Amino acid sequence: MKEKILMIGLGAMGSVLARLLLEQGKHVTVWNRSEAKAGKLVEAGATFTADIHRAVADSDIILICLLDYPATEQVLTGVSLEGKTVVQLSTGTPQDARSMAASFTERGAAYLDGAILATPSQMGAAETPIFLSGSSAAWKHAEPALRILGGGLKYMGEAPGAASAWDLAALSSMFGMMIGFLNGAGIMESEGMSVADLGQMVRDISPVLGQMIKDTGDDIQEQRYAEPQSSIDICAGTFELMVRLSAENKIDGGFAGFAQQMFRKAQGAGFGQERISALMKTLR
Ligand SMILES: NC(=O)c1ccc[n+]([C@@H]2O[C@H](COP(=O)([O-])OP(=O)(O)OC[C@H]3O[C@@H](n4cnc5c(N)ncnc54)[C@H](OP(=O)(O)O)[C@@H]3O)[C@@H](O)[C@H]2O)c1
């Protein structure tokens, strides 16, 4: 008999996930707080079940893509999860994942926590990354359906918090760079130059930037701080200049000031002649 999949949550992401499953001929039931969002998916072959108890009872694999974990708790309060494979694809913290894993496992579910590292229009491609961790039985059961949603699946083992830790660490790296770029965009604008050209240049040198990040990661892991090629004192000078430039060009100095403080703190702790990896010692 055909496996039954329930998609809970039909926002920007959940509706795309449901559609991808339907396109691959899966038996899909959908549930959403606002019923209207189910209309087009029903036209495409999904079943809408307004009663969440019945929707879960009639399904084998429960995929969740709601705003967050509290919304998930709310929607599934009092719903029997006995014998179900539950995959949480909403974004949360590792602690959110651990708490939900404990509570849903106690309620009889096999629980897998997931993190989607892509936008709705990027879903369903061979390389689309989705991190997963938690019950290996749930992983084995849900993997074929999940592979339709993104070919770049990465199962990170039984610890339920692993997927969201990786997700938030990767998002931190991405948005940290994006905020630095926006500060750079302010510099370009204030000098009457093209922000688009800066974007192009950053893309062109991104393999070099990526290598610098990787080398710093290796240094932190190995606790290698001495013999810098570019010392904290030298790097700190960049932000002294940037704070001055912000004042001179009358642009927002928040980013430059934040970074200046980080470097000054490390210098104050005596790490001025160490590698940039030594900033981690003050962060810890
Ligand atoms: N969009 C992305 O690019 C992206 C990428 C990666 C991960 N994600 C994650 O995917 C999840 C969903 O994102 P989205 O972009 O689909 O968000 P969205 O378009 O804002 O949809 C939110 C969904 O949550 C439901 N919801 C919110 N509060 C609720 C509550 N108290 N009770 C019941 N349902 C509730 C909404 O129901 P209604 O329709 O009734 O309002 C809707 O189905 C988030 O955790 C997000 O971080 C999104």
27: Cβ contacts below 8 Å, ≥ 6 apart:
2, 3, 4, 5
In angstroms, the CA 237 to CA 256 distance is 11
Whether 163 has a pLDDT exceeding 90, the answer reads yes
The pLDDT tens digits for 106-154 are 999 999 999 999 999 999 999 999 999 999 999 999 999 999 999 999 9
Give the separation between CA 165 and CA 163, rounded to whole angstroms.
6
Going by the DSSP 8-state scheme, the letter that residue 83 receives in this structure is T
User: Which residue shows structure tokens 């200046």?
Assistant: 260
Sign of the torsion formed by the C-alpha atoms of 213, 215, 219 and 225: negative
Q: State how far the Cα of 273 lies from the Cα of 1, in Å rounded to an integer.
A: 67
- Read off the amino acid at residue 117: L
Ligand 1 atom at minimal distance to the Cα of residue 13: 16
Q: Answer for the pair 243, 256: CB distance below 8 angstroms, yes or no.
A: yes
Tokens of 115: 């993190």
Q: What is the pLDDT of residue 117?
A: 94
Q: Which CATH architecture has domain 4-159?
A: 3-Layer(aba) Sandwich (3.40)
Q: CA nearest 146: which of 180, 194, 114?
A: 114
DSSP code per residue over 101-170: HHHHHHTT-EEEEEEE-S-GGGTTSTT-EEEEEE-HHHHHHHHHHHHHH-SEEEE--S-TTHHHHHHHHH
Pocket of ligand 1 (CB under 6 A): 9-14, 32-34, 37, 65-68, 71, 74-75, 90-91, 116, 119-120
Closest-lying ligand 1 atom to the alpha carbon of residue 67: 24
Q: Whose CA is nearest to atom 17 of ligand 1?
A: 11
Q: What is the pLDDT of residue 2?
A: 80
62: left (phi over 0), alpha (psi -120 to 50) or beta: beta
User: Helix, strand, coil proportions of the chain in percent (round to 5)?
Assistant: 55, 15, 30
Task: Give CA separation, 131 vs 165, 167, 268, in Å.
Answer: 10, 7, 39
Report the C-alpha gap between 2 and 78 in whole angstroms.
Answer: 27
pLDDT at 1: 66
Cβ 115 vs Cβ 69: under 8 Å? no
Residue 145 parent element (H or E): helix 136-149
Rounded to whole angstroms, the Cα distance separating 211 from 247 reads 32
Query: Which of 6, 10, 13, 63 has the most ligand 1 atoms within 8 A of CB, as the residue to mutate?
Result: 13
Pocket test for ligand 1, best of 17, 37, 65, 67 (most atoms within 8 A of CB): 67
DSSP line for 18-66: HHHHHHTT-EEEEE-SSGGGGHHHHHTTPEE-S-HHHHHHT-SEEEE--
**What average pLDDT is seen over the chain?**
97
Per residue in 210-249, pLDDT tens? 999 999 999 999 999 999 999 999 999 999 999 999 999 9
- In the chain, what are the domain boundaries? 4-159, 194-283
The answer to whether the 4-159 and 194-283 domains have the same CATH topology is: no
**Residues 64/87, Cβ–Cβ less than 8 Å:** yes
Of all protein residues, the one whose alpha carbon is nearest to atom 37 of ligand 1 is 33
Amino acid at 17: L
**Percentage of the chain modeled with pLDDT above 70:** 100
Query: Fold for domain 194-283?
Result: N-(1-d-carboxylethyl)-l-norvaline Dehydrogenase; domain 2 (1.10.1040)
CB atoms within 10 A of CB 262: 17
Global pTM reads 0.89
